[in-house]
Amino acid sequence: MIAALGLVVGIVLGILLQPSVPLALQPYLPIAVVAALDATFGALRAYLDGVFDDRVFFVSFLSNVVIAALIVYLGDRLGVGNQLSTGVVVVLGIRIFTNVAAIRRHIFHA
C-alpha cells in the first residue's frame, strides 16, 4: 500500500516539478528506467510468491539501475553504445515479460 503510494507520489512530483534531465544523464535515464521496471516487476512477482524481501528489492533495484547504466556507458566508450543499449533493453524486456507472465498466472491462474 505504501509502495503504491510512493509510486503515485513520485509520478505527481515528476509532473509538478518538471525537471530537465542533465545532458550527461540523458543516454542513461531510459535504460535505468527499464532496469528499475524490471526490478519492480520482479519484486511484485516475489511478493505474490510470498518470498518478497525489501532488502533484496532495494539491492536488486539499485544494482539493476547501476549495472544497466554502466553497461550503456561502457558501450558508449567502446563505440557500441547503440547495440549494447539495445541488448540491455532486450534482456530486460524478456525478464519483464517472464515476470509479468508469472504474475498473471498468480492473479488469473492461467
Partner 1 sequence: MPDHARPPDGTDRPAESAGVGAGRTRRPSRGSLLVALLLALLGFAMVVQLRTTASSTPYAGARRDDLVQLLDSLDSASSRAESQISDLQATQRQLEGSSTKTRSALQQARKEATTLAILSGSIGATGPGVEIRIDDPAGQVGAATMLNVVEELRDAGAEAIQVNDSVRVVAQTYFADTVNAISIDGTPVTAPYTLKAVGDPQTLSVAASFPGGLKDVVESLGGSVSVTPMDRVDITALSVRRDPDYAVPAS
Summarize as ranges the residues that interact with partner 1 (CB under 8 A).
Answer: 1-11, 13-15, 18-21, 26-27, 29-30, 32-33, 36-37, 39-40, 42-43, 45-47, 49-64, 76, 79, 81-82, 95, 98-99, 101-102, 105
Of 59 and 70, the one with the shorter C-beta distance to partner 1 is: 59
**Burial of 91 from C-beta contacts in 10 A (0-12 / 13-18 / 19+):** middle
Q: How far is the CB of 64 from partner 1 (least distance, A)?
A: 7
Q: How far is the CB of 77 from partner 1 (least distance, A)?
A: 11
Q: H or E segment at 109?
A: none
Q: How far is the CB of 87 from partner 1 (least distance, A)?
A: 14
From residue 31, alpha-carbon distances to 10, 17, 37, 51, 90 in Å are 18, 22, 10, 27, 11
Q: H or E segment at 8?
A: helix 2-17
